[in-house]
Each structure stands twice: as structure tokens, then as C-alpha cells.
Structure 1
Amino acid sequence: APGPVAEPLVDAVVDALRARGLEVGTGVFGADMQVHLVNDGPVTLIVEA
């Protein structure tokens, strides 16, 4: 979806996860980013937006 459609949806998911006490990292929407991931648990979710 284009940014104006997708960004509010991503923000809503992030807010819902944080409301449940989960740590969620975000960046600049639509920007290319370099990230570092450390797996520490039974599940890893990869979300590509």
C-alpha cells in the first residue's frame, strides 16, 4: 500500500503491541534502514512494509 495508507496502519499495530507491554522499535517510514537483530525467544516475526 502507498505510504499514506500504510503508515497509519503500521502505527496502529505498533501502538497495540506497545499497549500490551511489548518493546517495538520503529524508524522513518519508507526509508532504507540498516538494522541489527538479536533473536531471543521462540518466535521471530519479519514484517516487510
Structure 2
Amino acid sequence: YNVDPLQLKALPSISQREYTTEERSDREKAETIAAKFRDVFDLVQASIAEA
């Protein structure tokens, strides 16, 4: 299998925006989930490459 890495990019307008405390908390949660997703995706790619 040749699997291309998933490229996740934030929109510039979103990352430059000021957030309220509640929105910042939600954004941090979303970024944590995305980081976990990237870690799992890397693990799956390594497992497929190893198989």
C-alpha cells in the first residue's frame, strides 16, 4: 500500500481570529482531538507499511 499522508491545514482567517474564553476552550478541545487523530493515522500508516 502506498498511502499519502493526510494534510490538515487550518484556514488563515480562523487561526488569526480572537476568541472568547469559551470559544478558546472549544478550540483547544478540537486541536487536541485533531492531534490524537494525526497520531492514530501515523500509527495506522506504520502498521500498513509494516504488513
Question: What is the TM-score with the length of structure 1 in the denominator?
Answer: 0.38
Structure with the higher fraction of residues in helix conformation: 2
Which structure exhibits the higher relative contact order, with contacts defined as CA atoms closer than 8 Å and separated by 6 or more residues? Answer: 2
Question: What is the TM-score with the length of structure 2 in the denominator?
Answer: 0.36
Q: Which has the larger radius of gyration?
A: 2
